[in-house]
Amino acid sequence: MGLLPYLGQVIANVNYRRPDYVSTSSSAASMDDLSQTESTGSAKSQGIPEALSFDRIINGGTCPPMTVREFMNYLEYIELAPENLQFFLWFRDYARRFEQSQSQSQSKSHNPFTTPPPTAQSEGPNPPPTDYKYPSSNARSFDAEADDESPINLPVPVQVQAKSAITPEVGSVAPWEMDWEKDPSLTKVHSSVQASYRAIAHRTFTEAGLEVPPTNLPFRDEIDRIIAIYIASPAPRQLNLSFRLRHTFLIALTTTTDPSAFLPVVKSVESSLRFQAHPNFVRWSICNGNKPRQVFAHGLGAFLIVAGLLYALLTTLSGMSRGWRAFAAFFWVLGISTLHLRPWELWECGEEEIGLEGMEHSSNPQPNSSPDEKQEKDAGTKKPKEDYPWVKKYEKRNIIRKIFDREVWVQEPALRQIQDVIFLQSLLVGVTAGGIATVVFLVVPGGGFF
């Protein structure tokens, strides 16, 4: 895009207003309470262009600093609640692998030479549904009676085949299982960890008054891990679910591991991400300076405004000509209209530290990781912010170095355009306010006191 068309777009959006901050106090209630009304969610999404929409970020259609990795960084280090995005990314990957596994099982069991094509009159189990892939816009369609005490209407559970019939190949197993497959020496550690997950999952079902599901369901071990990490109470990264939604979800898991059983929970998690975390992430990303630089800029702006006022007063009270008073406008314009690297970006953190391991966006595992380290990562334990290595290193930096920290180019065009629009708004406000103040001092007659 040329310079003139780009400037035209910036000027056309001069009335832009960045998204309002969505208070995290609403997270005290359950996440499904957050998605009761469509109008509320739509209002919170105002100020977010289509290029920075939630779907574009999740599907990898954005550039730094608006990618899934930066989104996870924000939730991990700023909101201190990355579990929603981790669970959401896991489910997308799990639904894809489950469907592939079912397709492979059906293709292997079908013999075109001896088996006639299925008809509506054929007996046997129904094929697994494939409609669990819901459009992203469904998150905006909420039930007005979400607080009703009636049970949630889940999709009809599918009685899937035994695990031995659809055992996935190595290429389709859960990403975190690949570590154990590549390193046979960790088999014993993996077995003990999986046993603890299964014990936690069994305890969760028992405490809910439900029967323990059979172990021959497909991906049962993986579901046990998910229950132990995200669903059990307490859990390292427990999702904020209402009792009714959690209980109904566990009921569905007693008979099936089909992705359709996860839909109510996934929609609740997606609502929290789409209407709370995502607007806050966009709002936070627009400001490309750290806190010390913001304080410095605000202080410098206040100083220039005061300096311009003193200069205008002195030139007005003195015997100097009126033309000298006009120079006060430079102080006022600069004072009214004044991308750092984030602290964790100054010291590169591995993706496994920000919770991207086991997701479709994860990097290769580190070969030098010890079994204990892998066991801790697999458990999904949430680390306090003070435990990250960059925190202490950043606190040791002096204030001057923080103000003039390293900068990085903003690669996302939509974010750059928003920042340019905000800069233009500040410049217009500065010129307008500075011009009015200058005119006022120009029309005042000189004092001639000195």
Which tens digits make up the pLDDT trace of 142-169? 333 333 434 444 444 444 333 333 333 3
Q: What is the helix (H) or strand (E) element at residue 438, kind and residue range?
A: helix 413-443
Kindly indicate the confidence band of residue 5, based on its pLDDT and cuts at 50, 70 and 90. Answer: confident
Going by C-beta distance under 8 Å and a sequence separation of 6 or more, which residues neighbour residue 102?
Answer: 128, 160, 166
Separation of alpha carbons 353 and 359, rounded Å: 13
Model pLDDT for residues 228-278, shown as the tens digit of each residue: 999 999 999 999 999 999 999 999 999 999 999 999 999 999 999 999 999
The Cα–Cα gap between 178 and 23 comes to 39
SS percent in the chain: helix, strand, coil, step 5 = 60, 0, 40
Which pLDDT score is estimated for 364?
Answer: 38
For residues 371-399, one letter each, b for 16 or more C-beta atoms within 10 angstroms of the residue's C-beta and e for the rest, the string is: beebbebbbbebeeeeebebbeebeeeee
pLDDT of residue 366: 41
pLDDT band at 43 (very low <50, low <70, confident <90, very high): very low
- Gap between the terminal Cα atoms of the chain: 56
Residue 83 has pLDDT above 90, yes or no: yes
Span 195-234, pLDDT tens digits: 999 999 999 999 999 999 998 999 999 999 999 999 999 9
The tokens describing 448, both together, are 């001639």
In this prediction, residue 165 carries a pLDDT of: 32
Say whether pLDDT at 110 is over 80.
Answer: no
Q: Is the pLDDT of residue 86 over 50?
A: yes
Whether the per-residue pLDDT at 419 is higher than 80: the answer is: yes
Model pLDDT, residue 292: 73
Percent with pLDDT over 90 in the chain = 31
**pLDDT > 70? residue 3:** yes
More confident residue, 198 or 321: 198
Q: In angstroms, what CA-CA distances link 193 with 198, 310, 377?
A: 9, 70, 11
Average pLDDT score, the chain: 73
pLDDT at 386 over 50: yes
- pLDDT at 318 exceeding the cut of 90: no
Whether 349 has a pLDDT exceeding 80, the answer reads no
- CA dihedral (165, 171, 176, 182) in degrees, to 10, reads 110
115 pLDDT more than 50 = no
* Residue in the block written with tokens 């003039």: 404
Higher pLDDT, 24 or 207: 207
Q: Please give the pLDDT value at position 146.
A: 36
Comparing 62-66, 100-104, 339-343, 439-443, the range with the smallest average pLDDT is: 339-343
Q: Interior CA angle at 239 toward 170 and 207, to 5°?
A: 90
CA distances from 124 to 102, 216, 406, 449 (A): 16, 19, 64, 104
Amino acid at 347: W
Given pLDDT bands bounded at 50, 70 and 90, which one contains residue 14?
Answer: confident
Give residue for tokens 């380290």.
373
Under the banding of pLDDT at 50, 70 and 90, the label for residue 388 is low
Confidence of residue 55 (pLDDT cuts 50, 70, 90): very high
| Pair 62, 412: CB distance under 8 Å | yes
More confident residue, 404 or 212: 212
Q: Is residue 191 very low, low, confident or very high in pLDDT (cuts 50, 70, 90)?
A: confident
Backbone angles phi, psi at 241, to 5 degrees: -110, 150
User: What pLDDT, on the 0 to 100 scale, is given for residue 192?
Assistant: 86
